[in-house]
Amino acid sequence: MVTSAWRLQLNRENQDHPEIIHRFILSDLSSTRSTLNHRATLAGLEETVKSARPVAEPNPGFWSQLQKYEEGLQSRSRRPPEPSTQVDPFTDYGSSLTVTLPPELPHQPLPAFPEGPGAEPSCCPLAFRVDPFTDYGSSLTVTLPPELQAHQPFQVILRYTSTDAPAIWWLDPELTYGSAKPFVFTQGHSVCNRSFFPCFDTPAVKCTYSAVVKAPSGVQVLMSATKSTYVEEEGVYHFHMEHPVPAYLVALVAGDLQPADIGPRSRVWAEPCLLSMATSKLSGVVEQWLSAAERLYGPYMWGRYDIVFLPPSFPIVAMENPCLTFVISSILECDEFLVIDVIHEVAHSWFGNAVTNATWEEMWLSEGLATYAQRRITTETYGAAFTCLETAFRLDALHRQMKLLGEDSPVSKLQVKLEPGVNPSHLMNLFTYEKGYCFVYYLSQLCGDPQRFDDFLRAYVEKYKFTSVVAQDLLDSFLSFFPELKEQSVDCRAGLEFERWLNATGPPLAEPDLSQGSSLTRPVEALFRLWTAEPLEQAAASASAIDISKWRTFQTALFLDRLLDGSPLPQEVVMSLSKCYSSLLDSMNAEIRIRWLQIVVRNDYYPDLHRVRRFLESQMSRMYTIPLYEDLCTGALKSFALEVFYQTQGRLHPNLRRTIQQILTQGLGPSAEPSAEQGGAGAEAEGDVDTPALLLGDEAPSSAIALRDVNVSA
């Protein structure tokens, strides 16, 4: 992953102080997979930086310094000054960043303009150097002028361009639904935004920001900001985020987007051809979800809650950017999955956006709490049975992943050790969500009353809003809020110690009682048992009498997942399943169809391969294409996969095309590798995005599970 982390020296006395220099290196570091071509211009000085892929780890002394700095962040978040960014998304690649600093903030980048009453701004060029490229990016060190007096506030202006930035996704018109105009969006999670703008790219650091964006006429620009204005005659948008946020929550999208109001403080944005569907799916309900969340956890603090639906190239399902949730358009047809995904992002407004995990090693603090809040909201809105069904579906996927990884897998810990050079995105897995949820649910059971626990979470948000926290902050607050539990030493109960929850590998130490959903899960279990019973003829006859067309989406998905877990199945079973369900499943949403098609592929059931082809011809999304291609290439159908890919690659984003090419060419000779003429052109490794699937190794089934099930949000 390309990174562009920057550091600025603080004052003349500390220009060569190694500890202070290290404090400006980002505490959450990513591996890099490509070269960086980055042009940095500072106050009239210009230098082009070209760096190759790093081949060595940093010296051990650096890590000890970095660890000391991160330990200093454990109990509080840092708030640097507000940057102001100028971007011109469609006409050139030049941007500038202005950082203003008050004099009382130590260890911060210092400005280049003297400020104060009667002071005239003046600009002077500054000497600087760009350090060699490492796993963390290219650091910029600025030498301050000798005449600068101590404690004198000033500004630093950085002018920069980048030819390779994995945070920014540029789409030609044909990669959008309407095929009318080009499109661009950013995806900053976890550590991509350091390639979008110079920043302190760690969740421990929060700041407000302002941005000015110029775009051609007819192109709508949106950002994750609380305020925005548009100067039509100049084609310029002004944005301002008034609350401090971590760098990964700064987001931009521009394209052929139209709005429609769906509530008093919400609207959807989508391409014109999708706007009616998006409006019909979400009109009125988003306000219900926001109101339920406010009753539980306190006022919504971000002003508007808008949703923008992005083309299928969007690499994840949804992203909780404050004020402007990003959602992949492919999920629009999947009603129940859409509901859960958007409610999860609503919950992030309190848990993740307002109160953020200070380190990537404790992502469960955002995802586990957001998942708990999501299920409290769905219980309030749709009842306990539906919530228990969705929870059973997700926990089923968790146990599937646990079986594939093994119970001693280090990624199954809630507090995962982020090793040097590891991309934090690789720590995103079902344990972050579901094991984190189970721990939060366990805490709620300790206090004996969900409403009392809601009160605690409301107080927790109020105390820590707009800051970053570590697990100890949450647990100390919990025991302080419930002193009777502290007296009972609930944190040290044998087998359920808080420390063991956080640091033990394996499945959750306790799981929620889902009996309230048994009316929905029992029919699924019964039907699955029928299809695995003997004799097949009698079982199939009984099973075919059960009408699953009336089932909820999560019921059907859970049933198909059970069949998928049991694959390969006897051919006569697959034949009977196809006869009974294939035509019905053709009319269902993509979340259902992909599960059936994976059963088809893993069982080499050739009569239904035309359905696989038709599905891949119609899909351009990572979450629906990669699992099928991985399954096809694991079995005896790689030649079929190559054929379909060569016919459809022109409609795929270059990043996705590159990923599929890598899947297709694993284990093949050089002659089988797709050439540039066959679609490799433009599929730059620099722009490719790692997915959580990489956590699970090379087994195709495990990768498919991780890609589809993990990406509830970023």
- Look at the alpha carbons of 178, 179, 181, 187 in this order and tell me if their dihedral is positive or negative: positive
Q: How far apart are CA 559 and CA 555, in angstroms?
A: 6
For residue 655, the model assigns a pLDDT of: 87
Q: How far apart are CA 651 and CA 134, in angstroms?
A: 35
Angle at the Cα of 265 from the Cα atoms of 264 and 270, rounded to 5 degrees: 105
For residue 599, the model assigns a pLDDT of: 98
| b (16+ CB within 10 A) / e for 207-235 | bbbbbbbbbeeebbbbbbbbebeeeeeeb
pLDDT tens digits along 552-569: 999 999 999 999 999 999
Question: Which two tokens mark 191?
Answer: 């550590």
Question: Which two tokens mark 429?
Answer: 């897995």
Please give the single-letter amino acid code of residue 60.
P
Residue 534 bears catalytic tag: no
- The owner of tokens 């039907």 is 527
Judge whether 653 is annotated as a binding position: no
Question: Which two tokens mark 235?
Answer: 């084609």
**What are the phi and psi torsion angles at 371 (to 5°)?**
-65, -40
Q: How far apart are CA 221 and CA 87, in angstroms?
A: 11
Half-sphere exposure of 305 (CA within 13 A, CB side): 29
Distance, first Cα to last Cα, the chain: 16
**Of the candidates 318, 309, 390, the residue with the CA atom closest to the CA atom of residue 347:** 318
- The owner of tokens 């469609």 is 90
Q: Domain 517-710: give its CATH architecture.
A: Alpha Horseshoe (1.25)
SS (H, E, C) 281-309: HHCCHHHHHHHHHHHHHCCCCCCCCEEEE
Helix (H), strand (E) at residue 394: helix 384-405
In angstroms, the Cα distances linking 89 to 86, 189, 192, 645, 654 are 10, 20, 17, 31, 19
Contact by Cβ (8 Å): 426, 390: no
Question: Which two tokens mark 422?
Answer: 């590891």
Residue 120: CB atoms within 10 Å: 7
Q: Tell me whether strands 324-328 and 355-357 are parallel, antiparallel or unpaired.
A: unpaired
Residue 537 bears catalytic tag: no
Q: How far apart are CA 522 and CA 541, in angstroms?
A: 19
Question: Which two tokens mark 181?
Answer: 């105009």
Low-confidence ranges of the chain (pLDDT < 50): 1-77, 92-93, 101-120, 669-713
User: The whole model's pTM is what?
Assistant: 0.82
- Look at the alpha carbons of 172, 175, 176, 179 in this order and tell me if their dihedral is positive or negative: positive
Q: How far apart are CA 157 and CA 41, in angstroms?
A: 9
**What are the phi and psi torsion angles at 156 (to 5°)?**
-120, 130
| b (16+ CB within 10 A) / e for 396-433 | bbbebbbebbeeebebbbbbbebeeebbbbbbbbbbbb
Q: One of 70, 271, 320, 345 is an active-site residue; which one?
A: 345
Judge whether 419 is annotated as a binding position: no
In angstroms, the Cα distances linking 353 to 187, 249, 571 are 15, 8, 49
For residue 141, the model assigns a pLDDT of: 78
Q: How far apart are CA 230 and CA 221, in angstroms?
A: 9
Q: Domain 12-256: give its CATH architecture.
A: Sandwich (2.60)
In angstroms, the Cα distances linking 189 to 138, 330, 361, 378, 460 are 19, 20, 14, 26, 24
Contact by Cβ (8 Å): 357, 468: yes
Q: One of 433, 437, 442, 624 is an active-site residue; which one?
A: 433
Judge whether 684 is annotated as a binding position: no
CATH of 335-513, one of 1.10.390.10, 1.10.10.10, 3.40.640.10, 3.40.1190.20: 1.10.390.10
Question: Which two tokens mark 520?
Answer: 């929905």
Question: Which two tokens mark 457?
Answer: 């979470």
What is the DSSP annotation of 27-54? SS-----S-EEEEEEETTEEEEEEEPPP
Q: How far apart are CA 303 and CA 319, in angstroms?
A: 18
Domain map (residue ranges) of the chain: 12-256, 335-513, 517-710
Angle at the Cα of 260 from the Cα atoms of 311 and 220, rounded to 5 degrees: 55
Helices (H), 489-552: 498-503, 518-531, 536-544
pLDDT tens digits along 420-436: 777 888 788 999 999 99
For residue 62, the model assigns a pLDDT of: 33
What is the DSSP annotation of 638-701? HHHHHHHHHHHGGGS-HHHHHHHHHHHHTT--GGGSPPIIIIITT--GGG----GGGGGTT-HH
Domains 335-513 and 517-710 share a fold: no
For residue 7, the model assigns a pLDDT of: 29
